[in-house]
Chains A and B, each alone.
Chain A
Amino acid sequence: MYTQDPYFWRAGAIATVIFMCVVLAALTIDTLRQITPGGARVPAYDVINSAVTYQYDASRGEYAPKIGGEELIFGHKYSADEATALLARGKLVIQSRACIDCHTFFGNGAYYAPDLTRAWMDPVWARYAGPKRADRLAKFLMNPLRLGSRPMPNLHIQRDEAEAAVAYLKWMSAVDSNGFPDRFGAPGAQ
């Protein structure tokens, strides 16, 4: 019987794998197009010059980032090129200190410390409104305070590195991640 012939199953395996690879390739092209900075889902890097909040969107039934008017960080308005260079450095800070091996980004990483997706707008910094928040966050990164029972180590982050990392967190908080995390900073939540 043909089902007892391994070559029958081999043909099925090859056809299945080729089909799935073609579908994945097509979806990859479309996804990469949609997550290029400057699109509707992933903002341009100079979004760091604007206010970013996370609000409930009734039409979508979930929370989504909202870009507001101008709100500068570190007293500087970054051009597109400056913002790109600053965020590239911010990403290097995050990688060089292996932040992802304690924290999570969009929920990916280790699970030993809080998720950083919306860390920029965390209520813990609420009393530091506007430009003050960036400065406060940068100081925290350089000399971490003991928040709760699980302290953050001092990773010898320099001022310029801290500013780049804070700018990165602000940009990341503006990425549309389909409602994740749910109810972040919502009334009644912590």
Chain B
Amino acid sequence: MYRAQRLGLKYLTASTVMFGAMIVFGLLASIYYVRPGFMLNTFNFSTAKIVHIDGLVIWLLMGFIGAIYWFLPQELDREVEGIGLAEVLFWVFCAAVAVVVVVFIFVQYGAANEWSMWFINQGRKYVEAPRWAAMGIAAVAGVFAYNVIATTVVARKSTGILTVLIADLVPLVLLYFDAFPEMTNMSQDLFWWWWLVHLWVEATWEVLIGCIMAWTLIHLVGASRRVVESWLYVEVALVLGTGILGLGHHYFWIGTPRYWFAIGGFFSALEPLPLLGMVVHAVYDAGERHLQAANRPAFYWTLAEAFGNFIGAGVWGFMMTLPQINLYSHGTQWTASHGHLAFWGAYGCGVIAVLYLAIAQARGCERLDGTAWKWSFALLNTGMVGMSGALLVAGIDQAFFERAIGGSTWNAYLSMEGRPWFNESMWARLAFGLIFACGFAVLVYDLIAIPKRREAGAREEATAAAGS
């Protein structure tokens, strides 16, 4: 095994730990909705929310980085350039994340000065990490991009997937520098903030997971590189062709000009197209293989990724992004419903597929099946669909009664909080969140149990050989 692959496994392990932390703080955040006043002035909702959503970003980023360190040496048949530096930065990254989480939990907020921005909390959603930590993340991302580019250059060999990956890493790293500015004008602040959030999540991350899924398909089912690369280019054209100007659906209400209504609405309507294509292809491939593959958990999570991406990001996103609907759905639990299902479908399922693939390969497990992964698959997906469904009901209730009828005032908000549909939905979200957490526990158990299964398989083979 290459050193880069060992590093990849470390990243995937760290990513799973962050996945768990994200779930714990998500469950905590959901309690505040059913028990208002919970831990008030001790551990406020905002802190739980920050660790939950920043944990989501770190979980997925670590998963992507781990997946690429896993596949890259296999792609180029050589060790990754600068691997020593990358190994050091892994521990720096983990230490920085731990320090930031401890500061978020125990310090929480500071006074209105630059010290708070540098060392406590920048107070911008998803990029709350203080500046010193954000600079650390930028350094890790820079070294990671260097690893990929330098290895490709030194190998004097490139593939279509690598070309797309390198072209994608450059804007991905550059966009992160959008995490630092401090602008007085909220309209400009949000304008640039969406460049980071949207052009990461609905553009560069989509391409990144496309590259990772392309490698996954080649390793998992022996898909033809020619076909996979052609589809990857089509996906890039469609995802970026619709996603770059799809950015406009975030510019309806922040003070920006009215032409964003037409641009944002039109391109948002097209955004599900590449995701629909992915589903059609996944159904075709799955049917052709009669739902069989040597690594069944990875295969099923890959299928879940295609469906989840289309439904969560595509359908749920389109449902609320036409300006005529968005005027009322914007900034409600409807958005939270879309956010949960989209991140899960577009990225979470893909990272889990790579986890199964990499760990099985690392432990020499050629065939992988069993019962635990099915429970985990069912519990996680049921939990996620349930949470998103509950948040959707709450969001529609909020859009009608707080926004359209109530006029979005404080009293309208407070009345909506007391509505039975809203409250019942919040209880349902908590219950499905617990189901999701159970699914995570089974997932971890199953991943840890993989070597035992190989040993069991070897024993069975040895017994069979002795018998014959």
Query: Which residues does A use to contact B, with CB under 8 Å?
Result: 4-6, 9-10, 12-13, 16-17, 20-21, 23-24, 27, 30-32, 34-37, 41-42, 45, 84, 87-102, 104-115, 118-119, 122-124, 147-151, 153-155, 158, 161, 164, 172, 175-186, 189-190
Give the interface centre of B112, B124, B188, B189 by most chain A CB atoms within 10 Å: B112
Contact with B185, one of A37, A114, A148, A161 (Cβ below 8 angstroms): A37
List the A residue with the shortest CB-CB distance to B42: A153
Contact with A42, one of B46, B120, B244, B255 (Cβ below 8 angstroms): B255
Contact with A96, one of B121, B186, B405, B406 (Cβ below 8 angstroms): B121
A182 contacts B408, C-beta separation under 8 Å? yes
Contacts of B403 in A (CB 8 A): 181-182
9 A-B pairs whose Cβ atoms sit less than 8 Å apart in the complex: A13-B236, A20-B245, A23-B244, A24-B247, A104-B331, A109-B125, A111-B332, A111-B333, A182-B328
Which B residues, 210 to 257, have Cβ-Cβ distances below 8 Å to chain A?
Answer: 226, 229-230, 233-234, 236-237, 240-241, 244-245, 247, 250-257
Contacts of A100 in B (CB 8 A): 123-125
Contact with A124, one of B184, B406, B411 (Cβ below 8 angstroms): B411
B244 contacts A24, C-beta separation under 8 Å? yes
Query: What does DSSP make chain B's interface, helix, strand, loop or mixed?
Result: helix
B46 contacts A150, C-beta separation under 8 Å? no
B120 contacts A105, C-beta separation under 8 Å? no
A35 contacts B256, C-beta separation under 8 Å? yes
Assess A148 versus B417: contact at CB under 8 Å? Given A92-B182, A106-B190.
yes
What is the CA–CA distance of A56 and B250 in the complex, to the nearest angstrom? Answer: 24
List the B residue with the shortest CB-CB distance to A123: B409
What is the CA–CA distance of A126 and B152 in the complex, to the nearest angstrom? Answer: 65
| Residue B428 interfacial (CB < 8 Å) | no
A41 contacts B257, C-beta separation under 8 Å? yes
B330 contacts A12, C-beta separation under 8 Å? no
Give the interface centre of A20, A21, A91, A176 by most chain B CB atoms within 10 Å: A20
Known: A23-B244, A189-B405. 12 other contacts (CB 8 A): A13-B237, A17-B237, A23-B245, A31-B260, A32-B188, A42-B187, A91-B189, A102-B49, A110-B45, A114-B408, A115-B331, A158-B111
| Residue B358 interfacial (CB < 8 Å) | no
Shortest beta-carbon contacts, A-B, top 9: A189-B407, A107-B331, A148-B414, A95-B123, A9-B233, A181-B408, A180-B253, A101-B46, A92-B112
Contacts of B47 in A (CB 8 A): 101
| Residue B418 interfacial (CB < 8 Å) | yes
Contacts of B414 in A (CB 8 A): 114, 147-150
Q: Mark B84-121, 1 if CB is under 8 A from A, else 0.
A: 00000000000000000000000001111100110011
List the B residue with the shortest CB-CB distance to A180: B253
List the A residue with the shortest CB-CB distance to B228: A6
What is the CA–CA distance of A150 and B417 in the complex, to the nearest angstrom? Answer: 8
| Residue B2 interfacial (CB < 8 Å) | no
B336 contacts A10, C-beta separation under 8 Å? no
List the A residue with the shortest CB-CB distance to B240: A17
What is the CA–CA distance of A41 and B415 in the complex, to the nearest angstrom? Answer: 31
A31 contacts B257, C-beta separation under 8 Å? yes
Contacts of B327 in A (CB 8 A): 179-180, 182
B241 contacts A177, C-beta separation under 8 Å? no
What is the CA–CA distance of A36 and B250 in the complex, to the nearest angstrom? Answer: 18
| Residue B463 interfacial (CB < 8 Å) | no
Chain B: residues with Cβ within 8 Å of the partner, total of 88
Nearest chain A CB to B153 CB, angstrom units = 19
Stretch in contact with the other chain, from B31-39, B278-286, B434-442: B31-39
List the B residue with the shortest CB-CB distance to A113: B413
Contacts of A180 in B (CB 8 A): 252-253, 327, 330
Contacts of A101 in B (CB 8 A): 45-47, 49-50, 123, 125, 128
A115 contacts B123, C-beta separation under 8 Å? no
A98 contacts B121, C-beta separation under 8 Å? yes
Give the interface centre of A92, A122, A155 by most chain B CB atoms within 10 Å: A92
| Residue B258 interfacial (CB < 8 Å) | yes
Q: Mark B329-346, 1 if CB is under 8 A from A, else 0.
A: 011110110000000000
Contacts of B245 in A (CB 8 A): 20, 23-24
| Residue B466 interfacial (CB < 8 Å) | no
Assess A175 versus B407: contact at CB under 8 Å? Given A23-B245, A24-B245.
no
Contact with B191, one of A31, A91, A98, A154 (Cβ below 8 angstroms): A31
Contacts of B328 in A (CB 8 A): 182
A41 contacts B255, C-beta separation under 8 Å? yes
B410 contacts A91, C-beta separation under 8 Å? no
Contacts of B49 in A (CB 8 A): 101-102, 110, 112
A119 contacts B410, C-beta separation under 8 Å? yes
What is the CA–CA distance of A173 and B64 in the complex, to the nearest angstrom? Answer: 41
Assess A182 versus B407: contact at CB under 8 Å? Given A34-B256, A92-B182, A107-B330.
yes
B407 contacts A190, C-beta separation under 8 Å? yes
Contact with B258, one of A16, A89, A108, A178 (Cβ below 8 angstroms): A178
| Residue B465 interfacial (CB < 8 Å) | no
What is the CA–CA distance of A88 and B188 in the complex, to the nearest angstrom? Answer: 13
B186 contacts A175, C-beta separation under 8 Å? yes
Assess A99 versus B123: contact at CB under 8 Å? Given A9-B234, A91-B182.
yes
